[in-house]
Amino acid sequence: MRAIPQLAFVCTRTGSPGYQFYRDSLLLLNSTGKGRIEVFTCSPEEFNPEGFDAVMLMGFDPLPPSLRQRANDTVLVVIDPRASQRRDLSGYDLAVHTGLEARDWFAGSTPHDLIYAVYPVCPPRFAATARNEEPEGTLIVGYHGNALHLDAMVPRITDALSQLAQDRPVALWAMYNFNVRGRWEWPLHARPPFAVRHIPYCRENYARYMAHVDIGLVPQFVPVRNVGILRYLIGSLDRRYHEKRQDFFLRFKETTNIGRALVFAQYGVPVISDMTPSAVAFLEEEVTGFTAFHTAAWLRALRRLANSQQLRQQIGTNLREKWENFYAHELQNQRLLDRIIAIRREKAKASQF
């Protein structure tokens, strides 16, 4: 084992946002002196693992048999595998997942796994000039991601925002890639009961806009339509399990994670998130944030934060401290490095027999 572990990150699709987030996070390892990572944009089949303690591939790049054969004691790591890619992970030593959901889905696929929450390295907060463009007293709620989750907010979360807008002026700052996909439109092309600012998705706009919102929104669930029919189709005929019409139906992807919440955490912005497994594990209710599902629960959390600047500041501070103590990029890199070192030693020991 080298005194300073040498890691290689090999990827062909460098335009992938997931790859870019992981690349930027992992490269921070080079400034610590505890490990060295190099980025390669060649095909995994062409890559020579000699001289590296670990080789990391994104889940969308297949692991070629030739690389596996040449790896010897080198640790092979798959980053962010997804069910839709239908990759065989049996050749890898370690799978790095974005959250509890993916780790559960891929359980048993690799000898080792690790959760590494992926989120962008955000620049320091810019001056709050954009806030001055909103009417005085406006409560600003922020969203960043893609238009898909904006659509999924309707009507469950948008109804809560609409009710809140009856009490006070509200503005939704939505940062997403509308330059590529087109602008998100309010349902039925009606005018929303609160202001919506469409913000281009780019790294600088985290610091220019998202850093200055009052509340961060993290919608995660996939809408379930025709719930009544669904209850009928999946329920037991004799109600053996005491099914009720008020039972929860929560649908979320295996790629669900807390990354969007961690962006707000870096800036000390309190968040409300859909109550996915990762979010519930991450957010301590009314201490580091709120989780919700039903419209009434979203409205309750929105009003609690809207009515008290002191509460927003306290929860935002608590959330930032949790990020600093558990999810900062440097800490996640160290956990990954420790795991790779342990696996590397395990493989080297096994090869002696």
305 and 290 Cβ atoms separated by less than 8 Å = yes
Residues in CB range of 127: below 8 A, 6 or more apart: none
Shared domain for 168 and 292, answered yes or no, is: yes
Q: For a pLDDT cut of 90, what percent of the chain falls above it?
A: 76
d(CA 272, CA 68): 43
What pLDDT shows up at residue 246?
A: 77
Of 53-62, 131-140, 187-196, 211-220, where does mean pLDDT reach its minimum? Answer: 187-196
CA separation, residue 93 to residues 83, 85, 254 (Å): 18, 18, 21
Shared domain for 148 and 270, answered yes or no, is: yes
What pLDDT shows up at residue 152?
A: 92
Shared domain for 67 and 177, answered yes or no, is: no
Please state the pTM of the whole predicted model.
0.93
How many CB atoms lie under 10 A from the CB of residue 133?
9
What pLDDT shows up at residue 188?
A: 62
What pLDDT shows up at residue 187?
A: 75
Over range 131-155, report the average pLDDT: 93
Q: What single letter denotes the amino acid at residue 345?
A: R
Residues in CB range of 309: below 8 A, 6 or more apart: none
116 burial (CB, 10 Å; 0-12 / 13-18 / 19+) is buried
d(CA 170, CA 149): 19
Residue-number span of the structural domain to which 32 is assigned? 6-116+328-350
Shared domain for 199 and 303, answered yes or no, is: yes
Shared domain for 54 and 153, answered yes or no, is: no
Instruction: Decide if pLDDT at 272 tops 70.
Output: yes
CA 92, chain centre distance (Å): 23
Shared domain for 146 and 69, answered yes or no, is: no
Shared domain for 57 and 107, answered yes or no, is: yes
What pLDDT shows up at residue 71?
A: 87
Confidence band of 103 (pLDDT split at 50, 70, 90): very high
89 and 97 Cβ atoms separated by less than 8 Å = no
Residue 124 lies in a domain: no
**Residue carrying structure tokens 């309707």:** 154
Mean pLDDT score of the chain: 92
* Residue 227 or 180, more confident: 180
Shared domain for 230 and 278, answered yes or no, is: yes
Over range 332-351, report the average pLDDT: 92
What pLDDT shows up at residue 227?
A: 65
Residue 155 lies in a domain: yes
Give the model confidence (pLDDT) of 225-253 as tens digits: 766 666 666 766 666 767 777 777 889 99
What pLDDT shows up at residue 326?
A: 97
Shared domain for 151 and 260, answered yes or no, is: yes
> Which helix H or strand E contains 262, and what residues bound it?
helix 259-266
Of 10-24, 91-105, 179-193, 253-267, where does mean pLDDT reach its minimum? Answer: 179-193
Shared domain for 276 and 179, answered yes or no, is: yes
Residue 318 lies in a domain: no
The CATH number that applies at residue 104 is 3.40.50.2300
What pLDDT shows up at residue 241?
A: 66
Residue 321 lies in a domain: no
d(CA 186, CA 192): 6
Pull the structure tokens for residue 272: 């409300």
Instruction: Decide if pLDDT at 130 tops 90.
Output: no
Shared domain for 92 and 235, answered yes or no, is: no
Residue 1 lies in a domain: no
Residue 123 lies in a domain: no
319 and 271 Cβ atoms separated by less than 8 Å = yes
The CATH number that applies at residue 187 is 3.40.50.2000
Shared domain for 293 and 169, answered yes or no, is: yes
Instruction: Decide if pLDDT at 189 tops 70.
Output: no
Over range 195-217, report the average pLDDT: 96
Residue 111 lies in a domain: yes
105 and 83 Cβ atoms separated by less than 8 Å = yes
What pLDDT shows up at residue 80?
A: 96
Residue 20 lies in a domain: yes
**What's the total number of domains in the chain?**
2
Instruction: Decide if pLDDT at 47 tops 80.
Output: yes
**Residue carrying structure tokens 């990150």:** 9
Q: For a pLDDT cut of 70, what percent of the chain falls above it?
A: 94
Over range 320-326, report the average pLDDT: 98
